[in-house]
Amino acid sequence: MARSVADLALFLDAMAGFCPHDPLTFDASSTSFSDGLAQPVAPKRVAFTADYNGRMPIDREVREICTKAALRFEELGCVVEEASPEIGAADEAFHILRGQHFIVDRELQLRSSRDKLKPDIIWNTERGLAQTPSDLARADRERAAFYRRIVEFFDIYDLLVTPGALTPAFDVNLRNAPTIGGQKLDNYMGGSTVTAVITLTSCPAMAIPCGFDQFGRPVGLQFVGKPRGEAALLQAAAMFEELLGLNRLLPIDPKSGSVPPTA
């Protein structure tokens, strides 16, 4: 979405604000996000987790790169601890609620133009159609419970840091990485759990580069802020970006060569 945190702050300034046509919008902050970067404040306590207490597989090299990068927050005077909110059944709730969204968006198209839809859209929509009201209720209860745990987590920590992805980029012709950390995925969304569960919380989140793997593929971190904490999140990301200096490598030109192995 942007080549730097400053660009992203400007982008958000252009988007933020109340719109009467969208009930999910709210008034923008009195101080622009861009102006907030002029005097950034570092988070006091940073929580890092590579896999949410072992709940998901992760590529070994991604774990190492992300762990090393997250610890660099200590150079900004932050306390960095390995900690994670308990995700419970949030991963299941995500898939259930995602299926409901596919029904809203694609059910009519599935009826009229099934032959024009790709298999992933059909799979997601039919999965949603097979769900019961009890499934939806269970997912909403779990989303609410997860949100309460997140709020309690942010009573202790100012920032949650995780890998931005569980595996490096893979061949664009593949639907998903065949395995992650030696584990085969149940479905093509299996590698997205690290970010997917955060979407249930309404907390602001962003991804920022933190290094490169042995094949030169960029690896990133996911930063998660407190509810309505976009300004503090952007400030923490800007300080981290300046610390690592990877933004000074832009633009990154595509590299030639063979596709790295996926296992």
Span 29-72, pLDDT tens digits: 899 999 999 999 999 999 999 999 999 999 999 999 999 999 99
Calpha distance 252→8 (Å, rounded): 18
pLDDT level of residue 263 (50, 70, 90 thresholds): low
pTM of the model: 0.93
Locate CATH 3.90.1300.10 in the chain: 5-83+156-246
How many percent of the chain have pLDDT more than 70? 99
Calpha distance 148→213 (Å, rounded): 36
What superfamily does domain 5-83+156-246 belong to in CATH?
Amidase signature (AS) domain (3.90.1300.10)
Mean pLDDT for the chain overall: 94
pLDDT digits (tens, 9 = 90+) for 145-193: 999 999 999 999 999 999 999 999 888 888 888 888 888 888 888 889 9
How many percent of the chain have pLDDT more than 90? 81
